[in-house]
Every structure is written in structure tokens, then in C-alpha cells.
Chains A and B, each alone.
Chain A
Amino acid sequence: MSGILNDDIILVVQSKKVLLVGAGGIGCEVLKSLVQSGFKNIEIIDLDTIDVSNLNRQFLFRKEHVGKSKSEVAKQSISQHYPAVNITAHHRSIIDSEFDINWFKKFDLVINALDNIAARIHVNRMCLAAEIPLIESGTRGYEGQVEPIIKGQTKCYECEPKEKPRTFPSCTIRNTPSEPIHCIVWAKHLFKKITYYFNIYFSICSQLFGEEDQLGENDVSPDTEDPEATGGAANAALISNSGDGLLNRKSTREWAKECNYDPQKLFHKFFYEDIQYLLSLHDLWNKRKRPKPLKFEEIQDISEQSVTSSTDECLKDQKIWSLQQCAEIFCESIVKLREKFISVQDTEKFLIWDKDDKNAMDFVASCSNIRSHIFDILRKSRYDIKSMAGNIIPAIATANAMVASLVIFQAIYLVTKNQTSCRTVYLRRESNHKGEIITPERDLLPPKVTCLICSSSSNPQVTLIVDVRKMTLKQLEEEVLKKSLNLIEPEVTVSETSTVILTSEDEFSKEYLDRTLTEFSIKDGTLIHVNDFLQTCEFFIRITDRNIENKREEALFEIVRHTEIIVQNENENDKEKFNGSAEEKNNEDEDEDVLILIENGNDNLISGKRKMENDDFVPDKKLKSLI
């Protein structure tokens, strides 16, 4: 790069090999700036394809590229301007065993330009294991941040707790919604269920019942085991509803066939029959407003008071539909989705819900609004429902461009071994009292000694609080190790006996998966060792047994990340102090290490009947500390 950097720096920069993870908003900008700063060897990976809503900021993509691989089109577009640069594009997920430690080791620097926490955590672990410096980046609207991560010298991505996505108890979703979001989550699950019916109906060879578990997790029908719904009424209702198509798999199929996916029949089923059933669970409605079952034929007769409208009604989608409109759109979207399913059923088992698919979005918007009407909840516009159902994070070209440039500054500091200049840098929405819009930390943030992942301590540990008589090995693997602790291929050993109870080898532990932890002699105080071969990440889990009381909002398990001193009475103030402290006060000594972090809070409910409704896309909420 003649003209700006001095010759020594140019030579260093040209010789370095960079991995760019993500070719989205920040990724496109980073790729351009890397090339403009003289980097010549770049690999870029992204599993995503281009969508119309990307085009307002992902400037390497155009309308004719919609549907194509982001990484490949990004490479093409950049190469037209800078043909001398050597770019390799991968249309793959970075969380793939193909990209192991040795693969990471061929790079001098890794840059994260991702949109989800799971992938960020994975790359963080891979880079720590491979000892490759990582630059982490993210934006949300006008805000953003860039964070250099160097093993042993800085905080890693997991040194600070990540905010978990909002989750809701299953019974709230299925039985007693009280907010628009409850109805929206329900509608998204209904979408899955509907496509599942299509599947049963149209598949000749139905091995699909193997998917029954998956279906069960997202069930939308009334939850008959709601602990609030005790007593004779519920039992009576259960008996009287034993023929209900939704309550057992065999008759689900029967019922699906019988009704032939007639939108009106589906309407009747979900908005009349199921609601009638809920009403029979008398105890649920002692303190709640009773829902009003709705018949399709009655909709025309419902005279609505003037439809509430939002203040900013510029867009068509910002108008709130009338009930009649909801019903029409419900029927229309089902017909369209059924057609779509038939056209793809040879290759796809399910339709995947996608906020950018018109019919899928129409379905969720109409369904959730009809349900909202039934439960007397405020209805929302399609525009707002899309935000909530799709977890849309606003994104603009300018913030991405600024953050990407800051990434490059950090990258140059890193590869030229000028690490003393590296800083975590924040982009703010408005300037602070000192007039700063882009604010660096004053120093590198040192690693947290208590971090489970980057700690130099020989036996990093977390505590798992759980009822060992209830949790199965499978739940330990899926819910605890994979979903909560983000492991990919975990192997579990009971330390005391050195017994391996779970490995990533396929056949080994399959038959044991349904056994509870007690059956592996795991009890209060047991220490288990967890090792992930892909991430080269290992730590211990200390089991703390507790009996789950059958309370409505009780979680199946809790994970407690250790700090040096564990304080039993965590309170909200401490938590806030912790979250808000990282940014600018880092020069002052803060005794953060007396805090306890409960990763899943109290609302992560996972058990046989208390399954959590969990949204699929996880926004990085770390940025909230900036506001």
C-alpha cells in the first residue's frame, strides 16, 4: 500500500493471512478495507445467501445476486476492483468440524463479522486454542464495537456474560398468553406444526414420526399438565378430550387427513376448539380474563371498534389489520404455504419459517393477531410483528463502515506486533460528555482469571444446579453442554471413577441417553470433566443437586459460572453494576470478582413438560451497555 503506511509495515501486512468470518454488513466493509490497506491473502466464510433486505448496506451485493452465496459474490465484486488480491471464499458454516484447530492455525489473524452469539463463541474458542489473535466486531443500529482478543493478554469473548434471548414458559405460550409476543411465539410454532401436517398428509413413506420429539417441543395445543390447572375439571377435560387429534400422534395424522388442510377447519380447530378446551381448565381463569373462542363464520358479525393505528403509518405494513383481514390472510397464507410445501416436499421435510418469506410472515402475523383478539391482547401491525418474530436488528451502512474501519486499525496494530496500541473501541449513537462518538478503552482489558474458557487456571469450573433424578444424559448433552455452554462435540467423564458417560463417537452412548444422571452415580458434589475435541476446550462441572419444586416458572437447571468468591445473594444492583461497568471505568479498580453470574437466570425451563419456547436467532445484546 504505497502512499500511506511506511515500507516496513506494508511488507508485514502483505505477508499476513487473514480469515474473515462473515460476509454480511460488517464483512463486506471489512473485506474492502482489508484489501485497501494492503492485505493480500484473505479467506472469507459465510453460510448465508443474499436477501433483498441486505442490499441497503451490503454494498458488494446487487439485486441480481439475491439467493446467491454471500462469500462468493463478495469475492467476485471485490476482485473486479482489486484483481491482484488472493481471496478464497467458503459457502459454509464456520461451526463445522472441517474447520479444526489446524485449519485455524494457518491464519495470522481472524476477524469476526458475525450476527449470532453461538458462532462468535465458537470462533473465540477456536482462536484461543489455536493461539491466533481475533478481532471481534458487531453493530446494532447506530452503535457498534470492536474488540481485539489476544490469548493471555486481553479478555476473551466469553469473559463477560452474554445476555440470553428472552424465553417464555411453555404454559404461557400454550395456555395463558398475556402479551403480543406470546401469541407471536405461538404462531411461529403453529407454522412448524402446520407444515408438519402437510408433511404427514403428502408423504407416502412417513418416517416422519421419528420427528415426533421435535414436534412435541414446540407444541401449540393446550398444555394439559399445567400445574395451575389441577383438580377435577382438568382431569375431566382431559378424559373428554382424549379423542383430540392434537394430543396423540396417531390421531393427529387421522385428523390432518380428515380436514384436508382446509383453512377454515384449521381455524376452527385452533381458534375455537382448543380455546373451548382451555376454558374447561377452570383453575387457569380464576384470576385471568377468560379467552373468547372464535368461530370462522362469526367473524363477519364482529363489529370492531375503530382499529387502533400506530402513530407512524407511512408504510402499508404499519397498518393494523381488522379481524376480517386477519382471517382472510390466514386462509390465503395456508393455501399458499400448502402449495409451496407440495413443490418442495421431495427435498425438504419441513418448511423453515423465514421472516422474509411473504406467506410465512403473513401466516404468523394473522395467526398471532387472531389469537391476540381471543385473549384480549393488543393487536400489532405486520411491521411490528416482523420485528418481534424475526428478532430484527436495525442495520445501516454507515455504522458498519465505521466499525469495519476500526477493525482494520486493530488488525494493523496486531499484525505489526504493536499490541500496546490495540484497544476495544465503541461506536456510540450520540457523543458522550467529552464529545466522543468513537471511544477507545484507555487500556487493553486484561483477561478475567475466572473465565471458564480463557482462564490460565488448571481446572476452570462451573456449577450445574439440577435435579439429578430428573435430568437425562440427553438433556445434559443437548440443553446444558450444547445449547447453554456452546460445545460442539462434548465428551463427558465422571472424574471420581474416570467413567466416560458421553462421547462424540456416534454409537457409544446412544442407548444410555435416556437414563437420568442418578443412573450414572452422579449426585450432589460430583465433579464431571467435559472435553470438546473440536474446540480443544475443557473444564469441570460441579453438580449441585436440588429438588425441583413443581412451580410454574421453575427452571430445570441453572449454570453458575464461578468467581473467586461466591456470593449467595445475588441482587439486581450487583448485576447492573457488572453489566454497566466494563466500558469506561476500567482504569478504576472495581471489585467485580465478588459477583456471581447465573447464566440462565430463573426462566430457562427445560423439562418433560416445561419446555421453553426459545427463539432461533440470538442477537448480541452486549451493545446495550453503550446506551
Chain B
Amino acid sequence: MNSVEQNNITEEEAELYDRQIRLWGANVQKALRNLKILVIGLKGVAAEISKNLILSGVKSITMMDPEKVVEGDINSQYFFYPEDVGQNRAQASLKAAQILNPNVVVRADMSSPLDKSISYYSNFDVICVTNQSPEVIICLNDICKLYKIKFFNGDSFGMFGYIFEDLNETEHVNPQEQVSFQTALNHKWTPNTSIKKRKYEDPSYLIFKILIDFYVIHDRKPSRNTYEHDSLTLTKLRKAILNKFNVEEDILPMEYLSNVYGEFGPTCSIIGAMIAQQVVKSLSDDFVSPHNLYFFNHLRCQLTGITVSGELISQKKEIIINSENVVELEV
């Protein structure tokens, strides 16, 4: 068989993927078929990213997570079965993930992202990072910049959720908008000045900042199990953030912070689906990505993208992973 035939979509594939090929065309389908994906952090969002991309017919998906399944995970992570509690999350996801589509190579990796060598990541075309600390997200983002790998990050905090993307390419996106997660955290957000429109102001960026700060302080997300303690922290963080951004209290009602505990299946679905869809859309020739940070505002059922842009300054930067692998790169 020559390479042209190998590249052409078979009749079986055309039948299986018919309804999506009619949407995004055979060329995107071909590109999907060559796509190698790494998904990190096998909680609800990662399972949804994996589910959607496996269904769409990518070449391979590697699911990486060193943690074990706990009781509550099952309610928001479709791949788990009740008997999986105590098993490794990646390993436990394998069976349900693989039966979605036998044409896709699905692997489980039980190591921590920090245990891998930097060059390991160059094996992938797309890396989706979920359920990690801001530190790890920033680090993996930098590695993706180094190898020009498409980087997606997203997470759910109770009903709230966000998505960050850094496509690390020049074809489809304005280079100024290809900022790193670090830059996104330092975005100078300002509310709409018109009083009339205040009512419709979306304070999601502030919620995002509060939750990231929470993670930095406690090295975890807010949880119902530690509700009393966590709600206090969140109240304090809200004050601090409002001060920092110099905005009035009514921009961010407390109500927004009452459902940001644990994981909620439908929010994981939205965040996971949006990431998977951006992965697919980024393969098409006419793709333009006007935004790089998206929020799901759970009180309004609203998903909004914003554009964080950074200055293009070349600077030396050091990434340290496990103190063994050190790399220098131009940003």
C-alpha cells in the first residue's frame, strides 16, 4: 500500500465519521487521524476531553495521572466503574475510554507529569492539562512553547469552569495573543465602565483569580468536606481580589462563590467538550481563534471568551522540573 492510500479515509471510517465529516470536512478528519494527544489529570474534565476526542477518531490518546480514584470521583468522571475506587485514575479510565472507539490507540500512564523528561512531551501534537496546580500548568505550558505543541488547560471548580489555550503557532493566531498561562494570570481586567451595563458584567475573571489563588494557598481546590474553612478563605480572597482590581462589591456577589466546591459533571462536560472542540477546530485551515481564555459563568449559563495579550519581549527563562531537567528557552 502506498502512502497516499494509507492517508485516504477508508469507507469504514467515512461511514463511522459521516456526520462530523459533513461538518468539518474530510481534510480535518485526515488531520485528526494523525493527531497524538496527551491528557493530564484524569478527573471529570479530562475524561470528557478524552471521550470527545476518542469518538472523533484521533490517532492516539495518552491519559496520565499518578493519583488514585476516590469515592466522589465517580460522580463526575464517566470512565470509572464503582469497583475502581482505590485504583490508579489513568489505569481505571482505560477500559471505558478504549471501547468508545477501537480505532484509536488509548494508553494509560501512571506517572506524574513532573517525573517525565522534557523531551517526553515532544511526542505529542496536543497536550491538555487539567486538575494541576498553577505551578505545574505554567511549567507544562513552557514546555509546549519550547516544542511548539498546542497547549490546552482547563478545569472545573464546582459549577464554575475555565479554559486556557496557547496554540504556539503562527498560522492561525496573532502572536501577541499566544501568551502563556502566567501572562493570563496577570491580565489587567477592568469592569465595564457604563453603569447601565453593570448588571450584565461578567465577573468570571475575578472568580478565576480567586480560585487560582486558593489553589496556590492550599495546594488543592475548594471542597465540600472542608466547607467551613474553605468558604472563609474564599471570602477573604474575594475581598483581596476586589481591592486589587479596585472594583466594587456588587460586581462579584458572594453568590458566585457558593457553588465552586468539588466537581460537577455537567460543568466538566462543558469544559471538556469546549477543549475537545477547540482541538478539532484548530486543525482546519480557516481557523481563527479570537480568544485564549474562556469562562463558564455558572449562575448565568454563559461561556465567554476573552483575549489576554502580552508584550512580545524576548527574555531568558528557566524552567525547573524535578531539579534534574533544566532547560533554557527563548520566549
Q: In angstroms, how far is the closest chain A Cβ from the Cβ of B212?
A: 19
Q: What's the minimum C-beta distance from B273 to chain A, rounded to whole angstroms?
A: 4
Decide if B274 touches A398 in the complex (CB within 8 Å). Answer: yes
Q: Tell whether, in the assembled complex, residue B75 and residue A142 are in contact, meaning their CB atoms are under 8 Å apart.
A: no
Q: Count chain A residues whose beta carbon lies closer than 8 angstroms to a beta carbon of B.
A: 62
B74 CB-CB contact with A under 8 Å: yes
On whether A33 and B305 interact (CB within 8 A), knowing A81-B96, A312-B25, the answer reads: no
User: Contact mask B1-39 → A, CB, 8 Å, 1/0?
Assistant: 000000011010011111111111111011000000000
Nearest-neighbour CB distance to chain A for B143, whole angstroms, equals 26
- Indicate with 1 or 0, residue by residue over A58-70, a CB within 8 angstroms of chain B CB atoms: 0100110000000
B56 at the interface (CB under 8 A from A): yes
Q: By the criterion CB–CB under 8 Å, are A434 and B265 in contact?
A: no
Flag if A56 contacts B14 (CB, 8 Å).
no
Determine the chain B residues whose CB is within 8 A of the CB of A57 once the complex forms: 19-20, 55
Q: Is B291 positioned at the interface, with any CB of A under 8 Å from its CB?
A: yes
Cβ-defined contact, B301 with A425, below 8 A: yes
The reply to whether A401 and B19 form a contact with Cβ atoms under 8 Å apart is no
Q: Are the C-beta atoms of B269 and A402 separated by less than 8 Å?
A: yes
- From the candidates B15, B81, B270, name the one contacting A401 in the complex (CB within 8 A): B270
Contact with B along A24-41 (1 / 0, CB 8 A): 000001001100111000
A435 to B304, Cβ gap below 8 A? yes
Distance (whole angstroms) from the CB of B74 to the closest CB of chain A = 7
Say whether A547 faces chain B, with CB atoms less than 8 Å apart: no
Q: Is the CB of B22 within 8 A of A436?
A: no
A398 and B52 within 8 A (CB): yes
Q: Which residues on the A side are within 8 Å of B270 (C-beta)? A: 401-402, 405-406, 438
Q: What CA separation (Å) do A434 and B202 show in the bound complex? A: 10
Q: Do A312 and B303 have beta carbons less than 8 Å apart?
A: no
Q: Which of A4, A52, A405, A430 neighbours the largest number of chain B CB atoms within 10 Å of its CB?
A: A4
| CA gap between A318 and B27 in the complex, in Å | 13
Residue A580 at the B interface, CB < 8 A? no
Q: In the complex the two chains form, is A442's CB within 8 Å of B15's CB?
A: no
Q: Is A204 an interface residue (CB 8 A)?
A: no
Q: Is the CB of A436 within 8 A of B30?
A: no
Contact (Cβ within 8 A) B303 A37 = no
Q: Does A408 contact B (CB under 8 A)?
A: yes
Summed over the interface, the residue pairs from A and B with CB atoms below 8 Å come to a total of 194
Chain B neighbourhood of A401, CB < 8 A: 48, 52, 269-270, 272-273
Whether B164 is near chain A, meaning CB under 8 Å from some CB there, is no
A81 lies within 8 A of B80 (CB):
yes
Residues in chain A near residue B20, CB distance under 8 A? 56-57, 394-396
Measured CB to CB, the closest approach of chain B to A568, in angstroms, equals 40
CB of A161 within 8 A of chain B? no
User: Within 8 Å of chain B (Cβ to Cβ): is A502?
Assistant: no
Identify which of B18, B96, B267, B280 contacts A405 (C-beta below 8 A): B267
Asked if residues B56 and A397 are in contact (CB atoms below 8 Å), the reply is yes
Q: Is A1 an interface residue (CB 8 A)?
A: yes
The reply to whether the CB of A240 lies closer than 8 angstroms to some CB of chain B is no
- B130 lies within 8 A of chain A by Cβ: no
Q: Which residues of B contact A37 (CB under 8 A)?
A: 264-266
Do A402 and B304 touch (CB < 8 A)?
no
Decide yes or no whether B210 CB sits under 8 A from chain A.
no
Taking CB atoms and an 8 Å cut-off, the chain B residues in 87-139 that contact chain A are 96, 99-102
A4 touches B262 (CB 8 A): yes
**Is A210 an interface residue, CB under 8 A from the partner?**
no
Of the listed stretches B146-154, B170-178, B292-300, B315-323, chain A binds B292-300
A320 to B: closest C-beta gap in Å: 15
A583 to chain B, nearest CB (A): 14
Question: Chain A residues near B305 (CB, 8 Å)?
Answer: 431, 435-437
Tell me whether B257 is interfacial, beta carbon within 8 Å.
Answer: no
CB distance from A588 to the nearest CB of B (A): 14
Q: Is A55 on the interface with B (CB-CB < 8 A)? A: yes
A33, A53, A59, A436: the one within 8 Å of B19 (CB): A53
Question: Contact at A4–B19, with CB atoms within 8 Å?
Answer: no
On whether the beta carbons of A3 and B9 are closer than 8 Å, the reply is: no
Q: Are B15 and A409 touching (Cβ within 8 A)? A: no
The interface bits of chain A over 274-315 (1 if a CB of B lies within 8 angstroms of the residue's CB, else 0) are: 000000000000000000000000000000000000001011
B309 at the interface (CB under 8 A from A): no
Closest-CB distance, A481 to chain B (whole angstroms)? 34
Against A, the Cβ 8 Å flags (1 = close, 0 = not) of B199-238 are: 0100000000000000000000001110000000000000
Q: Which among B22, B56, B57 has the greatest number of chain A C-beta atoms within 10 A?
A: B22
Q: Which of B16, B261, B266 meets A52, CB within 8 Å?
A: B16
Residues of A within 8 A of B290 (CB): 430-431, 435
Q: Does B60 lie at the interface of the complex (its beta carbon under 8 Å from any beta carbon of A)?
A: no
B266 and A36 contacting across the interface, CB-CB below 8 Å: yes
Given A314-B27, A440-B300, A442-B200, A398 and B263 contact (CB-CB distance below 8 Å): no
Q: Roughly how many angstroms separate A425 CA and B72 CA in the complex, as a whole number?
A: 29
B22 touches A394 (CB 8 A): yes
Q: A56-B20, A394-B23, A402-B269 are in contact. Are A2 and B224 (CB under 8 A)?
A: yes
Q: What per-residue 1/0 map shows which CB atoms of B32-70 lie under 8 Å from chain A?
A: 000000000000000010011001110000000000000
Q: Is A421 an interface residue (CB 8 A)?
A: yes
CA distance A404 to B265 in the complex (A): 11
Q: Within A175-234, which residues are at the interface with B (CB < 8 Å)? A: none
0/1 interface trace, chain B 258-284, chain A, CB 8 Å (1 if under): 110111111101101110110010000
Pair B302/A3 contact, Cβ less than 8 Å? no
Q: Looking at the assembled complex, report how far the CB atom of B10 sits from the nearest CB atom of chain A, in whole angstroms.
A: 9
B102 closest partner in A (C-beta): A63
**A396 CA to B262 CA in the complex, in Å?**
28
**A 397-422 binary contact with B (CB < 8 Å = 1; else 0):** 11101101110111000000000010
A435: chain B residues at CB < 8 Å are 290-291, 304-307
- Give bound CA distance, A37 to B8, whole Å: 42
Residues of B within 8 A of A394 (CB): 19-20, 22-23
Report whether A59 and B51 are in contact in the complex, using a CB–CB cutoff of 8 Å.
yes
Are A434 and B264 in contact, with the CB atoms below 8 A?
Answer: no
Chain B neighbourhood of A425, CB < 8 A: 301
Cβ–Cβ < 8 Å partners of B30 in chain A? 314
* Per-residue interface assignment for chain A, residues 1 to 30, with 1 indicating a CB less than 8 Å from any chain B CB and 0 otherwise: 111111000000000000000000000010
Q: Given A59-B100, A316-B14, are A398 and B280 also a contact pair (CB < 8 Å)? A: yes
Query: How far apart are A338's CB and chain B's nearest CB, in angstroms?
Result: 24
Complex partner residue of A3 from B17, B82, B96, B262, CB under 8 angstroms:
B262
Determine how close the nearest CB of chain B comes to the CB of A511; give it in whole angstroms: 48
**Partner of B263 from A4, A317, A423 at Cβ < 8 Å:** A4
How far, in angstroms, from A398 to B76 measured CA to CA in the complex? 17
Contact A83–B261 (Cβ < 8 Å):
no
Q: How far is the CA of A36 from the CA of B263 in the complex (A)?
A: 10
* B159 contacts the other chain (CB 8 A): yes
By the criterion CB–CB under 8 Å, are B76 and A36 in contact?
Answer: yes
A315 touches B26 (CB 8 A): yes
Least CB distance from A132 to B in Å reads 22
**What residues of A have a CB within 8 angstroms of the CB of B74 in the complex?**
81-82
Report A-chain residues with C-beta under 8 Å of the C-beta of B56. 56, 396-397
Q: Which 3 A-B pairs have the closest CB atoms?
A: A36-B265, A3-B262, A314-B26
> Besides A142-B23, A395-B23, 20 other CB < 8 A contacts?
A1-B75, A2-B75, A4-B262, A4-B263, A33-B265, A55-B16, A57-B55, A396-B277, A398-B274, A398-B276, A401-B273, A402-B269, A402-B273, A430-B290, A431-B305, A436-B304, A437-B303, A438-B302, A440-B301, A442-B200
Residues of B that sit less than 8 Å from A by CB: 8-9, 11, 14-27, 29-30, 48, 51-52, 55-57, 72, 74-76, 78, 80-82, 96, 99-102, 158-159, 200, 223-225, 258-259, 261-267, 269-270, 272-274, 276-277, 280, 290-291, 294, 296, 298-307
The residues of A with any CB-CB pair to B shorter than 8 Å are 1-6, 29, 32-33, 36-38, 52-53, 55-57, 59, 62-63, 80-83, 141-142, 312, 314-318, 387, 392-399, 401-402, 404-406, 408-410, 421, 423, 425, 430-431, 434-440, 442
Interface CB pairs A-B, < 8 A, 13: A4-B264, A57-B20, A59-B51, A59-B100, A82-B74, A316-B14, A317-B14, A392-B22, A406-B301, A408-B265, A431-B304, A431-B305, A440-B302
